[in-house]
Amino acid sequence: MREAFGSVRARATAGATLVVALALVMAGTALLLVLRGNLRDQTDLQAEVAARAVAVRVATGSVHGDLHLPDGDDRPVVVTDDDGRLLAVGDEVEEVDGRRVTGAPDGDGSDEATGDGHHGEVDDDVKVADGTATVDGHRADYRFATVEAEDASGRKAVVRAGAPLAPSQQAVGSLRTAMLIGLPLLLLVVAGVTWLVTRRALRPVEGIRGEMAAITASTDLGRRVPVPAARDEIGRLARTTNETLAALEASVERQRRFVADASHELRSPLASLRTQLEVGAAHPELLDVPGAVEDTVRLQQLAADLLLLARLDAGERPAGAPVALAALVREEMSQRPADRIAVTAGRLDEAEVTGSRSQLGRVLGNLLDNAQRHATAAVRVEVVREGAEAVLRVDDDGPGVPPGDRERIFERFVRLDDARARDDGGAGLGLAIARDVAERHGGSLRVREGSVFELRLPVTR
């Protein structure tokens, strides 16, 4: 249960429902406020119209006693003088704001205008306020508009007319009730739809998770997760996962071959060295010291190669020191006086790269060792500056590498048949190490024209 509530689907549903709820509450509140304001304005307008209609009658001197409003008009209207004495009152009006207004004096005609052809005035100012009134025995809330008027003889009167608030209150209350009922229902619909949609959308993710769990349990890296038909984020996730599994499978397979080949390569010199030592222990005069030293050196070189490959596979980055390739070539040539074939130097441009001097020296040494194994009478090395790259070339006059094997020779523990026939103890790791080092220095290593090995590195800016 805890997992269900903590799932992405549950969080998405809760988040969508919360956002919709907030939006609906804000929209509903705004709607209620706008509706109430509009209805209040309409009520105020009704009260003002009624008050001005009576005020006009006051200005013409036609108001006295009962106002005799049109039939069906039960709005409370009262007319008072400046001192608050009641001059006229609407039909059936009994009380206004707690003041009894029944028993208003009947008009006797004494309040009418003198008939001199002049009319009074109605003040433009209108005051509107809430109030209560009792009409025909029913007490209710009203909006009262107050207007002052003056008749032709100069007598002033104050007219208060009310418009009922009940219709607007009922409209607002009906809308509020509808929102209180409809909002929870709408949120339930939103939550349900979101739950179903997210379940459908996340179903492929569960398939990917289940397959990954099965792969982890079975350690079978040949399996792949299902890829949904939709070309969306989940589809890209599935394809990326399969690409990762393929790369992991290739890496594990490469590691297995590496371990098997390393075990094989180590077994031969160890067995030979053990045999020589056992013979020497039993018959000292038969001990082949040079052979034992040769096997020991071969083991030492193989162990060094394996350690370097392990560091490269672990992601070790080369040092950021400047390295002059021409000087590196001269130094390497000076340390190889006993080579089977003398190494000659061609063009040596001054080109500086950034990286590990020892690793780049190892690359050059491995390339020269490879050339020595295959050369007939000449080995040549040169450094050329080509734009933003420094190119180090090593070539020999040997038979060259067949086009079909020019990438294969850079694989670990790979030696061609003719190379095995002339090999003096190499394990097939030199070229693999050289390419790995080149790539980690931002460069490349490839074979051109059969026997030309070309190392390209970016020059230091």
Tens of pLDDT, residue by residue over 71-107, are 556 788 888 888 888 888 887 888 888 888 765 454 4
User: pLDDT by residue (tens digit) across 287-346?
Assistant: 777 877 877 877 888 788 888 877 777 777 787 889 999 999 999 998 888 788 888 998
Q: Which of 7, 19, 20, 23 is nearest to 195 (CA)?
A: 7
- Identify the CATH number of the domain in which residue 273 sits: 1.10.287.130
Q: Is residue 225 part of a domain?
A: no
End-to-end Cα spacing for the chain: 61
Task: Tell whether 91 and 240 lie within a shared domain.
Answer: no
Cβ 396 vs Cβ 379: under 8 Å: yes
Instruction: State the pTM of this model.
Output: 0.51
Task: Tell whether 266 and 172 lie within a shared domain.
Answer: no
Task: Tell whether 238 and 192 lie within a shared domain.
Answer: no
Of 253, 280, 313, the one marking the end of a domain is 313
Lowest mean pLDDT among 270-274, 352-356, 449-453: 270-274
Task: Tell whether 291 and 407 lie within a shared domain.
Answer: no
Q: Is residue 447 part of a domain?
A: yes
Of 158, 192, 218, the one marking the end of a domain is 218
- Tally of residues, the chain: 461
Q: Is residue 243 part of a domain?
A: yes
Cβ within 8 Å of residue 118, ≥6 positions away: 152
Q: For the residues 392-399, what does the mean pLDDT come to?
A: 91
**pLDDT above 90 for 38:** yes
In this prediction, residue 383 has a pLDDT band, given cuts at 50, 70 and 90, of very high
Lowest mean pLDDT among 41-45, 130-134, 169-173, 276-280: 276-280
In this prediction, residue 112 has a pLDDT band, given cuts at 50, 70 and 90, of very low
322 forms beta bridges with 354
pLDDT of residue 57: 85
Task: Tell whether 156 and 194 lie within a shared domain.
Answer: yes
Q: How many domains does the chain have?
A: 3
**pLDDT above 70 for 4:** no
Q: Hey, what amino acid is at 288?
A: D
Task: Tell whether 259 and 354 lie within a shared domain.
Answer: no
Q: Which of 354, 368, 335, 359 is nearest to 453 (CA)?
A: 368
Task: Tell whether 96 and 208 lie within a shared domain.
Answer: yes
Task: Tell whether 7 and 105 lie within a shared domain.
Answer: yes
Token pair for residue 331?
């130094």
CA distance 320 to 299: 31
Q: Is residue 6 part of a domain?
A: yes
CA distance 242 to 240: 5
Q: Is residue 71 part of a domain?
A: yes
Task: Tell whether 307 and 354 lie within a shared domain.
Answer: no
**pLDDT above 90 for 389:** yes
Q: Is residue 373 part of a domain?
A: yes
**pLDDT above 90 for 144:** yes
Task: Tell whether 442 and 307 lie within a shared domain.
Answer: no
**pLDDT above 80 for 460:** yes
Q: Which of 417, 374, 377, 419 is nearest to 398 (CA)?
A: 374
Task: Tell whether 183 and 74 lie within a shared domain.
Answer: yes
Task: Tell whether 96 and 209 lie within a shared domain.
Answer: yes
In this prediction, residue 151 has a pLDDT band, given cuts at 50, 70 and 90, of confident
Q: Is residue 415 part of a domain?
A: yes
What is the side-by-side order of every strand in the sheet holding 389-396?
343-348, 379-386, 389-396, 452-458, 444-448
Lowest mean pLDDT among 29-38, 40-49, 286-295, 428-437: 286-295
Q: Is residue 227 part of a domain?
A: no
CA distance 299 to 268: 10
In this prediction, residue 29 has a pLDDT band, given cuts at 50, 70 and 90, of very high
**pLDDT above 50 for 224:** yes
146 forms beta bridges with 127, 160
- Identify the CATH number of the domain in which residue 338 sits: 3.30.565.10
Of 313, 344, 364, the one marking the end of a domain is 313
- Tell me the residue range of the domain where 413 lies: 321-458
